[in-house]
């Protein structure tokens, strides 16, 4: 009994379990509001209002959608492989959610610190393709099977490019640990002191394109292409099982956004963290959250119904409480022998990490509503004939720049600048060669 009591009195023993429960409980709700944000952004780009009926300004739309999907009829095709058909969505969502174990959402919020955290995330998240392939095969539907095969080819192709982009960040940091990758971008004592997007912008661009393709997002949504394959591998799914695939897609989007934040955007550090001139940005979290909270209270007065006023009051109150929480470390208060200022890295780090992830997700949506869908042969050519060769050149250029920096005492910024120029020259050459290559008519006709 004493040993058990001692175990549960050590925070490092039960905190990971709390983090797991928080992620499992919050992620479905978060995915629902990411969908709402996407619909609102799409409506704004098309001069519409988007969802407005359920709750004030449509704020309760994700809850209505969840209830609708839960009570909707669940249909299984008569000739389908029922066991595999039922398991496929679970495989996709489990793979996406397991990847969160190694993601540091802040200096104090991580389920498991691993010295190979990046490899773990890449390996586990790539298992999601098994759910897509099995769903297409088990549905006993030609559209579903074709969508599943497209998905397998697409993910395999772009995982190579994404992995090579990750290698560039690993070279700059010298570690595979997600936490150490962030620390390498925070200060010169622990690494370079620069966000890797500035040292290796080509690698970041490659990772962005590959992450859009890996998550099957437009303009690379070929596995589900409604105009060609009805809904691809999800054609025979309905109701709750379809929503699990939907949750897996948005969970994977958050994973790749978190990876981009860790690898290239400084993780939980605020912009210009090493420059004292920009210390005023420490006040940005409480100001932004408090501003949104006050705006909700302002809109409360304009709501026609009492229950809509209540919803706006709840949302505004939550935002004001969050603003107070992130402002507390800036006050210098003492709670007994504990200094509240010591909480600042954890609280503000979580805010900046989430803010960067949200900005990356907005970029995903901006791409979706801007570019038309690629043909399948164009997708494959972009990956194999352009992104992968450019990624290889970028790795050699960055590695050469690091050697020159360390052996010839050349500044890191100068070495990486010339490495970027070399990579851009190679990219122009590969683009020119791709233009001269004749199109694959056989592939075009088939797909």
> Which pairing describes strands 338-339 and 334-335: parallel, antiparallel, or unpaired?
antiparallel
One-character DSSP codes across 284-332: HHHHHHHHHHHHHHHHHTT-SSHHHHHHHHHHHHHHHHHHHHHHGGGTT
Q: Residue 282: exposed, middle, or buried by beta-carbon count in 10 A (0-12, 13-18, 19+)?
A: middle
DSSP classification of residue 194: S
- Residues with Cβ within 8 Å of 213's Cβ and at least 6 positions away in sequence, in order, are 154, 155, 157, 158, 220, 379, 383
Using alpha carbons, list the distances in angstroms from residue 376 to 147, 221, 320, 357, 430: 11, 10, 48, 29, 20
Convert 203-225 to b/e letters by CB count within 10 Å (16 or more is b).
bbbbbbbbbbbbbbbbbbbbbbb
What gap in Å lies between CA 289 and CA 355, rounded to an integer?
Answer: 11
Its pTM surpasses 0.85: yes
Strand (E) or helix (H) holding 112 = none
Q: Let me know: does 76 contact 82? Beta carbons within 8 Å.
A: yes
Per-residue tens of pLDDT for the chain, all 447 residues:
555 555 555 655 667 777 778 787 788 788 888 889 988 988 988 888 888 888 888 888 988 988 888 888 888 888 888 888 889 988 888 888 888 888 988 887 888 888 888 999 998 988 888 888 888 888 888 888 888 888 888 888 888 999 999 999 999 998 899 999 998 888 766 567 789 999 999 999 999 999 998 888 878 887 777 766 677 788 888 888 888 888 888 888 999 999 999 999 988 988 887 777 888 888 999 999 999 999 988 888 888 888 888 888 998 999 999 999 888 888 877 766 667 777 888 888 889 999 999 999 999 888 888 888 888 888 888 888 899 999 999 999 999 999 998 888 888 888 999 999 999 999 999 888 877 776 655 444 444
Measured in whole angstroms, how far is the alpha carbon of residue 59 from the centre of its chain?
A: 22
């Amino acid at each position: 009994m004493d040993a058990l009591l001692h175990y549960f009195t050590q925070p490092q023993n039960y905190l990971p379990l709390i983090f797991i429960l928080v992620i499992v409980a919050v992620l479905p709700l978060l995915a629902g509001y990411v969908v709402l944000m996407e619909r609102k952004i799409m409506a704004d780009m098309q001069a519409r209002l988007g969802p407005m009926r359920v709750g004030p300004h449509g704020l309760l739309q994700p809850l209505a959608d969840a209830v609708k999907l839960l009570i909707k009829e669940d249909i299984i095709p008569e000739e389908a492989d029922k066991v595999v058909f039922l398991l496929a969505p679970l495989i996709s969502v489990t793979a996406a959610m397991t990847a969160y174990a190694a993601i540091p959402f802040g200096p104090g919020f991580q389920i498991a610190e691993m010295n190979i955290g990046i490899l773990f995330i890449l390996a586990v998240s790539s298992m999601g393709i098994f759910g897509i392939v099995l769903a297409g095969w088990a549905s006993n539907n030609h559209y579903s099977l074709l969508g599943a095969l497209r998905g397998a080819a697409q993910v395999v192709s772009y995982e190579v490019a994404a992995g090579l982009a990750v290698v560039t960040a690993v070279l700059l940091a010298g570690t595979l640990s997600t936490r150490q990758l962030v620390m390498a971008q925070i200060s010169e004592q622990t690494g370079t002191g620069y966000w890797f997007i500035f040292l290796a912008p080509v690698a970041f661009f490659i990772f962005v394109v590959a992450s859009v393709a890996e998550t099957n997002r437009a303009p690379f949504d070929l596995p589900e292409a409604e105009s060609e394959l009805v809904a691809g591998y999800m054609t025979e799914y309905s109701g709750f099982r379809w929503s699990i695939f939907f949750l897996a897609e948005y969970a994977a989007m958050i994973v790749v956004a978190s990876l981009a934040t860790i690898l290239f955007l400084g993780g939980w550090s605020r912009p210009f963290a090493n420059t004292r001139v920009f210390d005023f940005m420490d006040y940005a979290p409480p100001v932004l959250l408090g501003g949104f909270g006050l705006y909700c209270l302002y809109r409360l007065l304009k709501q026609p119904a009492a229950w809509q006023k209540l919803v706006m009051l709840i949302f505004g109150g939550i935002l004001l409480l969050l603003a107070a929480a992130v402002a507390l470390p800036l006050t210098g208060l003492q709670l007994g022998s504990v200094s509240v200022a010591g909480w600042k890295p954890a609280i503000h780090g979580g805010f900046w990490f989430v803010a960067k992830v949200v900005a990356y997700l907005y970029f995903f949506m901006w791409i979706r509503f801007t570019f038309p869908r690629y043909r399948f042969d164009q997708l494959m050519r972009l990956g194999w004939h352009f992104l992968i060769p450019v990624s290889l050149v970028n790795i050699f250029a960055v590695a050469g720049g690091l050697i020159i920096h360390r052996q010839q005492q050349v500044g890191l910024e100068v070495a990486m600048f010339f490495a970027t120029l070399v990579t851009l020259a190679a990219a122009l050459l590969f683009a020119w060669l791709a233009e001269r290559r004749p199109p694959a008519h056989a592939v075009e006709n088939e797909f």
